[in-house]
Structure 1
Amino acid sequence: MIKEVSAVNFRQNLGEMLNQVQYRNDSIVISKDGKPVAALVDAEMFACILRIRERFDALSKRIAESYVDISVEEGLAEIDAAVAAEREQHR
């Protein structure tokens, strides 16, 4: 379950919040002035997020390297064509 708490509430109940994350696999979004600023997730989830981020960064780098010699206009046109083809396929 994802729970949202204020930073003040989080600070006052840190021990309980850690237990919720560790034993119930909850995630906690911490907000300040009504805006989310951080999240507390269990260590396994955090490790998964890091792996996904590393894979995304590697993929982004490969894509950027593939398009290094292509103008922005050509790249955008190719993206538009791929999106159009995908939409057509799902009609």
Structure 2
Amino acid sequence: MEKQLSISQVREELGTLVDEVQYENSKYIILRHGKPAVAVVPLHVYEAWKSNRERLFGMIERMQAAAGDMDPDEAMALVLEAQQAVRAEHRERGPG
């Protein structure tokens, strides 16, 4: 579960926040005017997100190239299938 802090709390506790994220894998939602504005997550979480995003878009590009004149609904079904495969792989690997 993410912890929530206001921007003013972040200013006061930045060192502690960074230590908790880096060493304890804590996750924070930073609030601006009481509403979620940004997330602070451990670097490995961010890097995994970037890697998964790149792989997903790579799959989409390969499917688009292979689809040629395929019906758009059929192509979308393939995209969703690829997305589910990536998510299943991520679940199997677990966090980090």
Contact 1:67 1:75 in 2 (8 A): no
Distance across 1 between alignment mates of 2:11 and 2:60: 37
Larger radius of gyration: 1
Q: Compute the displacement of 1:68 (Å).
A: 4.4
Residue 4 (1) aligns with residue 1 (2): no
Q: How does 1:1-91 map to 2 (within 5 A)?
A: 1-70=1-70, 74-76=71-73, 78=74, 79=77
Question: Structure 1 unaligned runs (5+)?
Answer: 80-91
Q: Compute the displacement of 1:60 (Å).
A: 2.0
Distance across 1 between alignment mates of 2:64 and 2:31: 35
Distance across 2 between alignment mates of 1:75 and 1:46: 32
Q: Compute the displacement of 1:66 (Å).
A: 3.4
Give the structure-1-normalised TM-score.
Answer: 0.68
Distance across 2 between alignment mates of 1:68 and 1:6: 49
Report percent identity of matched pairs: 29
Distance across 1 between alignment mates of 2:67 and 2:31: 39
Give the structure-2-normalised TM-score.
Answer: 0.65
User: Residues 44-79 of structure 1: CA distance to partner in whole angstroms, max 9, x if unpaired?
Assistant: 112111111111111222233334424xxx322x34
Report the number of matched residues: 77
User: Residues 21-46 of structure 1: CA distance to partner in whole angstroms, max 9, x if unpaired?
Assistant: 11211111112122222111111112
Question: Structure 2 unaligned runs (5+)?
Answer: 78-96
CA RMSD in angstroms, aligned pairs only: 2.3
